Chains A and B, each alone.
Chain A
Amino acid sequence: MKILLFLLMTILALCPTVSAETLEERVKNLENALNRQEQIIREQQKKIEQLSGQKEQIQTEVIQTTGVDSREKERSAVRDYRLDDRSKAIAMQSASPISPYQITEKQTPSLLNPSISLIFDSLYYQTNLSEEELEEREIPGYVALHEHGEGSHSHGHGTFEKGFNLRSAELTIFAPVDPYFNLYATIPFTEDGSEVEEAYFVTTSLPAGLQIKGGKFKSGFGRFNAFHPHAWDFVDAPLPYTAFLGGEGLIEKGIQFTYLPPLPVYTLLGFEILQGENEVLYGEEAKSGPHAYTGFAKMSLDFGEYNTILWGISVTGGETKTESIEHETEFSGNSVLYGAELTYKWKPSKDRSLILQSEYLLRHQTGDFEYLEDSTVDSLKRTQDGLYLQGLYQIDRWRIGARYDVLSIFKDTYKLAGEEEDFGDNPYRLTGSLEFNPTEFSRLRLQYTYDKSAGNGKENNEIFLQLILGIGAHGAHSF
């Protein structure tokens, strides 16, 4: 109001055409205006002095109550002053009907940036096989690990070069979009470039325990599937996953619906509609449009304070067109993959834990098997299964692990043109690992694998020395 008046007066004063006032009168008006301005300045100065007086008072109060060195005192005093406004606000609010949760938090600019983390995953690899033998390696009757050389260096794939490997530097970005969505993106950078491994939203405000996830994401199928390679319990994926889904698992574009009912026992139900592009199970060219569906149910119970078990069943199915079974062949038809999982965790303290985990996968496929060289087609019907069993025991910063993974354990039929094919011994592997985890952001792992997955082919003795380091935002870990 004062400012308005002042402006008005100035305009009036400066306006020479307002009236036929004398010069003296105009000077007087100007003087008046200046006086008013001065008065305003004086009032403001007074207020500033008052405020800084309050600040000092609070600082001295704080210094009296703390027993730390003087620099620290000064710093904390300034901090406390800043925060004191908050407690004042609270005090005010106890009197007024405004709720405490409307207090504005101390804003830092970083709060508006998304959380970003980078995870470095590198390893040294040694084996008794030659580079050539490695290239040609396959699991006969299941999967050719390097179909036409493509994807052989892809992130998380079960094959490595002898010597030093940079598996990836994985960038993860996440933040709430608004009160309705959270957004996540995982972009691993490799020597061959980068790909968007995952980019998806998750709803946060649907009612009744419902949630929708959409974009490109790791399917809720099974247990192992949800984890990124740097969070795996061993360097590589277990055989059933490699054989039925490829080394990276089921990552698809699509939409996921989950429901968490308010039962006495944790139960999660989920359904997914997927594009169906997994190169081993489905294939990009199987059909245009979404052609794969996934359903899963998971339950968990605690026993006592330290024991938790988690179990579940999953199924995914759809149309398939893949060149992954054998070199120079193409299969087109239908696939269904069933999964059953069981995890037990014992964690009496942060320094000790035991995790036992197992998954059983069974895949059924029927369709046409085409030899690309001469275009001959045979019918193929195969029902195969696989299992892994693993245990990890942690003491302080050390952890030891063991894993047994095997294919064709209960079920192994492979009927080409009605005839049963024999691919020799059941593929299996034995793995042992030793980890040292200096902090939760660093992990050094030594792993040995005896790999007999090539049927009657050569066995592979593998040694890995892996280093994983994470910087940036502290990601929360799921169970």
Chain B
Amino acid sequence: MIKKIALCIVFVFMFMGTAFGELRVVVTLPWIGSLVNEIGKYRVHLDVIVKATQDPHFVEAKPSMILAVRKADVLMYNGLDLEIGYLPVLIESSRNQKIQSGMAGNVDCSRYVKVIDHPDKVDRSMGDVHPFGNPHYHFSPKNIERVAAGITEVLSRLDTGNADFFRKNMAVFSSKLHGKESAWKAKHFHGKKVIAYHKLFEYLAADFGLTISGYVEPKPGIPPSVAYIGRLIEKMKEERIHTVITTSLYPRKEVDFIADKTGARVIVLPHDVGSMPEIVDWFTLMDTVLTRLQ
């Protein structure tokens, strides 16, 4: 009797979660979630596992994340090794064959991207360098359009019944993006020189004509020494650099010190969707970034 009940419970568990028709999409970063929202809207079930308050480089694989990935039909992630510290554990521990590497439900968004900063030679003495290139491509409208197109194709293929709905939403997204692009283009920075905290804004710089002349971090992921800050301040004075860009994730101490010594303006940019209350989707993210940079 007890065995029968136990068996019944196991079966109920097995079919829970698969009973509903909606495609379950799990994404790592909030901006990917925003794109999935634009394309899938109310016809997909979306789970975002990384919070906007977290540094995407240092996320820990929580059991709740394993559970989310367990129930996923599709897992979409940034790629380029940004999630190397936790995603492999999530994928293996999820016990979900749909999202294993090489399966239809495993979507590395960077495969749609023109990657920059691909190092020719890399070792860890250079700091936390990403060996496959700079992974922070979400500040690049051109790349984001391609990623959105990729997401559309994946969703359409896995949920053929809603394919037309997804493609229509993609067309709307594209035209909205093109509409915005002309406004954004007007904000071209014509080679304006800035100092950045981390190698986070390289795509933004490439797309909008910003020149990043140096970094507060001497090497990616390595905090600066006093001597290094001193050299940076001198460089800023010499080259007349009046702007330091950072995000709310990075410590303010060094940045404020530099600003104090050089009179530079500190611009705190949002690093992802949701990192500031007014940033509700990818478009407002780009709007805010470009407005704050003015």
- Which A residues contact B (CB, under 8 angstroms)? 65-68, 75-76, 79-80, 83-84, 86-87, 90, 93-94, 99-101, 103, 105, 176, 179, 182, 202, 204-211, 258-263, 265-266, 268, 298, 300-302, 305, 308, 310, 345, 347-351, 396-397, 439-441, 471, 474, 476-479
- Please, could you name 7 A-B residue pairs with CB atoms under 8 Å apart, sorted by A? A68-B206, A75-B120, A206-B95, A209-B13, A211-B95, A262-B14, A263-B67
Q: Cβ of A100 and Cβ of B133 under 8 Å apart?
A: no
Name the B residues within 8 Å of A300 (CB-CB).
62-64
5 smallest CB-CB distances across A and B, nearest first, come from: A300-B63, A262-B17, A350-B58, A261-B13, A266-B63
- Secondary structure at the B interface, as helix, strand, loop or mixed, is loop
Question: Which of A84, A205, A479 has the most B CB atoms < 10 Å from its CB?
Answer: A479
Q: Cβ of B55 and Cβ of A350 under 8 Å apart?
A: yes
* B164 at the A interface (CB under 8 A): no
In B186-211, which residues have CB < 8 Å from any A CB? 191, 205-207, 209-211
As a 0/1 sequence over residues 115 to 131 of chain B, the CB contacts with chain A under 8 angstroms (1 = contact) are 11110100010001000
Q: Cβ of B149 and Cβ of A349 under 8 Å apart?
A: no
In B55-93, which residues have CB < 8 Å from any A CB? 55, 57-58, 60-64, 66-67, 70-71, 81, 84-89, 92-93
* B106 at the A interface (CB under 8 A): yes
Binds A, one of B30-38, B96-104, B232-240: B96-104
Q: Cβ of A204 and Cβ of B62 under 8 Å apart?
A: no
- Which B residues contact A (CB, under 8 angstroms)? 10, 13-14, 16-18, 51, 53-55, 57-58, 60-64, 66-67, 70-71, 81, 84-89, 92-97, 100-104, 106-107, 111-118, 120, 124, 128, 133, 146, 149-150, 153-154, 157, 191, 205-207, 209-211, 221-223, 249, 251
B39–chain A nearest beta-carbon distance, Å: 13
B101 CB contact (under 8 Å) in A67, A176, A345, A349: A176
Q: Cβ of B13 and Cβ of A263 under 8 Å apart?
A: yes
Whole-angstrom distance between the alpha carbons of A103 and B249 in the complex? 35
Whole-angstrom distance between the alpha carbons of A471 and B89 in the complex? 19
Q: Cβ of A66 and Cβ of B116 under 8 Å apart?
A: yes
Contact status of A202 and B92, CB under 8 A, knowing A99-B153, A474-B84: yes
Additional 20 contacts, C-beta under 8 A, given A66-B116, A94-B149, A262-B67: A66-B206, A76-B116, A76-B117, A99-B154, A101-B106, A101-B107, A101-B154, A103-B111, A179-B100, A209-B96, A260-B70, A261-B13, A262-B71, A266-B66, A300-B63, A308-B64, A349-B55, A351-B251, A396-B223, A476-B61
Q: Cβ of A476 and Cβ of B13 under 8 Å apart?
A: no
B53–chain A nearest beta-carbon distance, Å: 6
Name the B residues within 8 Å of A345 (CB-CB).
60
A100 CB contact (under 8 Å) in B95, B154, B223: B154
Whole-angstrom distance between the alpha carbons of A252 and B156 in the complex? 46
Q: Cβ of B251 and Cβ of A204 under 8 Å apart?
A: no
Question: Which of B64, B103, B222 has the most A CB atoms < 10 Å from its CB?
Answer: B64
A114–chain B nearest beta-carbon distance, Å: 13
Q: Cβ of B55 and Cβ of A90 under 8 Å apart?
A: no
B29–chain A nearest beta-carbon distance, Å: 15
Q: Cβ of A83 and Cβ of B51 under 8 Å apart?
A: no
Name the A residues within 8 Å of B66 (CB-CB).
260, 266
Q: Cβ of A99 and Cβ of B157 under 8 Å apart?
A: yes
Name the A residues within 8 Å of B81 (CB-CB).
474
Whole-angstrom distance between the alpha carbons of A308 and B60 in the complex? 11
A260 CB contact (under 8 Å) in B10, B16, B94, B102: B94
Name the B residues within 8 Å of A205 (CB-CB).
97, 100
B53 CB contact (under 8 Å) in A349, A351, A396: A349
B209 CB contact (under 8 Å) in A67, A75, A206, A471: A67
Nearest B-chain residue to A203, judged by Cβ:
B95
Q: Cβ of B95 and Cβ of A84 under 8 Å apart?
A: no
Whole-angstrom distance between the alpha carbons of A134 and B275 in the complex? 55
Contact status of A266 and B64, CB under 8 A, knowing A100-B154, A476-B88: yes
Name the A residues within 8 Å of B118 (CB-CB).
75-76, 79
Name the A residues within 8 Å of B14 (CB-CB).
208-209, 261-262
Nearest B-chain residue to A347, judged by Cβ:
B60
B67 CB contact (under 8 Å) in A87, A260, A347: A260
Name the A residues within 8 Å of B70 (CB-CB).
209, 260, 262
Contact status of A439 and B221, CB under 8 A, knowing A94-B149, A308-B62, A478-B93: yes
Name the B residues within 8 Å of A310 (CB-CB).
63
Contact status of A305 and B111, CB under 8 A, knowing A260-B70, A266-B67, A349-B249: no
Q: Cβ of B63 and Cβ of A479 under 8 Å apart?
A: yes
Name the A residues within 8 Å of B101 (CB-CB).
176
Q: Cβ of B62 and Cβ of A302 under 8 Å apart?
A: yes
Nearest B-chain residue to A299, judged by Cβ:
B63
Q: Cβ of A93 and Cβ of B153 under 8 Å apart?
A: yes
Name the B residues within 8 Å of A209 (CB-CB).
13-14, 70, 95-96
Q: Cβ of A87 and Cβ of B112 under 8 Å apart?
A: yes
Q: Cβ of A479 and Cβ of B62 under 8 Å apart?
A: yes
Name the A residues within 8 Å of B111 (CB-CB).
86, 100, 103, 105
Name the A residues within 8 Å of B112 (CB-CB).
86-87, 90, 100
A161–chain B nearest beta-carbon distance, Å: 31
Whole-angstrom distance between the alpha carbons of A261 and B18 in the complex? 12
Name the B residues within 8 Å of A262 (CB-CB).
13-14, 16-18, 67, 70-71
A90 CB contact (under 8 Å) in B13, B63, B146: B146
Name the B residues within 8 Å of A350 (CB-CB).
54-55, 57-58, 249
Name the A residues within 8 Å of B62 (CB-CB).
300, 302, 308, 479
Nearest A-chain residue to B120, judged by Cβ:
A75
Name the B residues within 8 Å of A204 (CB-CB).
92, 97, 100
Name the A residues within 8 Å of B57 (CB-CB).
350
Question: Which of A94, A265, A345, A396 has the most B CB atoms < 10 Å from its CB?
Answer: A94
Whole-angstrom distance between the alpha carbons of A477 and B65 in the complex? 13
Nearest B-chain residue to A306, judged by Cβ:
B53
Q: Cβ of B150 and Cβ of A100 under 8 Å apart?
A: yes
Contact status of A210 and B61, CB under 8 A, knowing A351-B251, A474-B85: no
B51–chain A nearest beta-carbon distance, Å: 5
Name the A residues within 8 Å of B54 (CB-CB).
349-350
